[in-house]
Amino acid sequence: MSGAPYDPAARRDTPLALKLKERIAREGPIPVAGYMQACLQDPEYGYYVKQPAIGAKGGFVTAPEISQVFGELIGLWCVAVWQQMGSPNPFNLVEFGPGRGTLMRDALRAMRVRPEILSCLRVILIETSTTLRETQKAALAGSGVPVSWIGKLDSAEDPKLPAIVLANEFIDSQPIQQFVRTAEGWAVRTVGLDPYGALVFMAGPYCAEYVARDLEQRFPSAAPGDVCEVHSLEHEFVDALLNQPSKAAALLIDYGHPATQPGDTLQAIRAHRHEHPLTSPGEADLTAQVDFAQVAGGLSGAHTAIDGPITQAEFLGRLGIIERASKLMSANPARAAEIEAGVARLIAPTGMGSRFKVIGVRSSGLNTLPGF
């Protein structure tokens, strides 16, 4: 939860703030999902369109940027899953939102323990940002495997191949819908203008009856004033996992909570600091905690099963993170302290190790995925 207080004096008239204010004056308040979409993906001013966004120089640091061990363990996980699928050749290794390409680079390096897998796979990166695509291209230049970039999975050359799908900190960057439980009923939470023309959260139009019924079922404990969140996963993402004629397995890692509960989790981070989500539209990273119960519900179907959620610490522990780190430290004594600190951060019981959760999605013909 952001907890960042809304300090009106801190509100910044970023170019996107001005664009949104004009739009709101013309069309009325925008639902929170539309606001989040604009902040992240506006073609002129969106955060992922304009900024380097990730890594020490960007606004926030992700697990693969903290330690190479993260991507390496996921690479070994891919090898085990591929074998579990019967070693298909060819198959697609898909990553949603690959950021700087670090996870994929480290994973492919670790996969060299079974060189034969490298001649069977085609890497498909699903990325909207043209800047980040360039960074990914540079990161994977020496990988020796075919890599292609697409905006949507259904535009892949052969989307029907068996697939292993990875997504780290991707779902938290997808727009969420917010609703407010008022004394009179459920309303869409929107962003409008206050009497001074500044952006402000509002309880917008009341929901249609079927939406209100659905919300009542999802959030039976919601009290008047509570904000509740619903993930609107892109259909391409859901399709990639559910409508696979061949075998597929996915690993989704994100920060979030295991059970559905009311709460406003929208948060903004700019230059490593939390701020209120309305402070710097387009210049801060906006994310929402992942409700793993909702996501698992949305991804389980007649042909899929879900493993987890479990915590990142449990998952990485079962994949042997301690053993892997020790080996790496003995091989690189000069970097031992750095390696140890990175790994400790990934599995910290009061930090990333418990805040981040992992679920696996698999074709129902496959056994429980490794690590779960």
Residues in contact with ligand SAH by the rule CB under 6 A: 48, 54, 62, 64-65, 97-99, 103, 126-129, 132, 168-170, 173, 234
> Closest distance between ligand SAH and the C-beta of residue 37, in Å?
9
Long-range contacts of 7-12 (CB under 8 A, 24+ apart): 7/276, 7/279, 8/198, 10/275, 10/276, 10/279, 11/198, 11/199, 11/278, 11/279, 12/279, 12/280, 12/283
SS3 254: strand
Q: Which two tokens stand for residue 285?
A: 């990273």
74-121-300 Cα angle (round to 5): 60
> Closest distance between ligand SAH and the C-beta of residue 330, in Å?
27
Q: How far apart are CA 44 and CA 16, in angstroms?
A: 8
- Of 20 and 124, which has the nearer Cβ to ligand SAH? 124
> Closest distance between ligand SAH and the C-beta of residue 372, in Å?
20
Q: How far apart are CA 141 and CA 225, in angstroms?
A: 51
Q: How far apart are CA 307 and CA 84, in angstroms?
A: 15
- Of 89 and 130, which has the nearer Cβ to ligand SAH? 130
> Closest distance between ligand SAH and the C-beta of residue 93, in Å?
14
Q: Is 28 left (phi over 0), alpha (psi -120 to 50) or beta?
A: left
> Closest distance between ligand SAH and the C-beta of residue 24, in Å?
23
Give the residue nearest to ligand SAH (CB).
97
> Closest distance between ligand SAH and the C-beta of residue 213, in Å?
29
- Of 240 and 306, which has the nearer Cβ to ligand SAH? 240
- Of 187 and 251, which has the nearer Cβ to ligand SAH? 251
- Of 242 and 346, which has the nearer Cβ to ligand SAH? 346
Q: At 351, which helix (H) or strand (E)?
A: none
Single-letter residue type at 182: T
Tokens 């019981």 correspond to: 349
> Closest distance between ligand SAH and the C-beta of residue 183, in Å?
36
> Closest distance between ligand SAH and the C-beta of residue 162, in Å?
22
- Of 106 and 262, which has the nearer Cβ to ligand SAH? 106
- Of 168 and 294, which has the nearer Cβ to ligand SAH? 168
Sign of the C-alpha dihedral computed for residues 127, 130, 132 and 136 taken in this order: positive
- Of 306 and 352, which has the nearer Cβ to ligand SAH? 352
Q: How far apart are CA 38 and CA 199, in angstroms?
A: 14
> Closest distance between ligand SAH and the C-beta of residue 47, in Å?
9
- Of 169 and 291, which has the nearer Cβ to ligand SAH? 169
Q: How far apart are CA 208 and CA 216, in angstroms?
A: 12
DSSP letter string, 292-337? HHHHHHHH--TTEEEEEEEEHHHHHHHTTHHHHHHHHHHH-GGGHH
Cβ burial, residue 331 (10 Å; 0-12/13-18/19+): exposed
How far is C-alpha 67 from the geometric centre of its chain's CA atoms? 18
